[in-house]
Amino acid sequence: MLKELFDLVKGQATEPVINNPDIPNQYNDDVVAEATNTVASGLRNLVAGGGTQNVLSLFGGRTDKKSLLSNPIVSMMMGHFASKLMNKFNLGTSQANNLSGHLIPNVLGTLINKSNDPNDSAFSLEKLLASITGGRSNEVTSHNGGLGGLLKQFNGDGHSNGGGLLDMIKTMAGGAQEQQQRNGGSLLDVIKSFAR
């Protein structure tokens, strides 16, 4: 799933990164990798911290730029990415914020649209959650009527087949935490290998 996400980010990076004179060409792939890491790690960290419902809400919401820019998850990712651009690539504050404000919402909007498109088999919310949680989300969804059943429970419309919502969140958060430990807390090296 990380490779697909990297390719998605690269596809969105033409204007804000590749054709951007503020980014030297030798850093294009590194900036794309950092943006991919920001999105993947941001989602994983949310789930690891018990924020599964926030991720599900993001993927069930509107994908227009205005809605995404007002979402606190997207704002957090934009701030993190802008900080990386300033610290690692010496971009000025305005340049970093502009690039981040363009790329991150576009990537997330495209990711959400592709994940919700039944005709796009490369992306799905199920695959994304499984990647983030080391497969633990599959365990949760299989006991709760699939992803649709899980969403209903998070929205208060469904009935739990077992331990309840808190247990589901704990299971998925535990899987995400295990993924963090397996990856040494950083996905960046894995993501950078896709650019080679």
Confidence of residue 78 (pLDDT cuts 50, 70, 90): very high
Contacts of 68 (CB under 8 A, 6+ apart): 62, 74, 105, 108, 109
* Mean pLDDT of all residues belonging to the chain: 82
Helix residue ranges, H only, the chain: 2-12, 28-48, 52-60, 65-69, 72-89, 93-115, 125-133, 136-142, 146-154, 165-182, 188-192
CA distance 47 to 65: 23
18, pLDDT greater than 80: yes
142, pLDDT greater than 80: no
Task: State residue 150's pLDDT score.
Answer: 58
Task: State residue 140's pLDDT score.
Answer: 63
Let me know: does 195 contact 17? Beta carbons within 8 Å: no
What is the tens place of the pLDDT at every residue in 163-190? 565 666 677 667 667 776 766 556 677 7
What's this model's pTM, rounded to 2 decimal places?
0.81
Residue with the larger pLDDT of the pair 48 and 32: 32
Residue with the larger pLDDT of the pair 191 and 184: 191
Tell me how many domains the chain contains.
Answer: 1
CA distance 45 to 185: 10
Can you give the residue range of the structural domain that contains 36? 2-195
111, pLDDT greater than 90: yes
Confidence of residue 77 (pLDDT cuts 50, 70, 90): very high
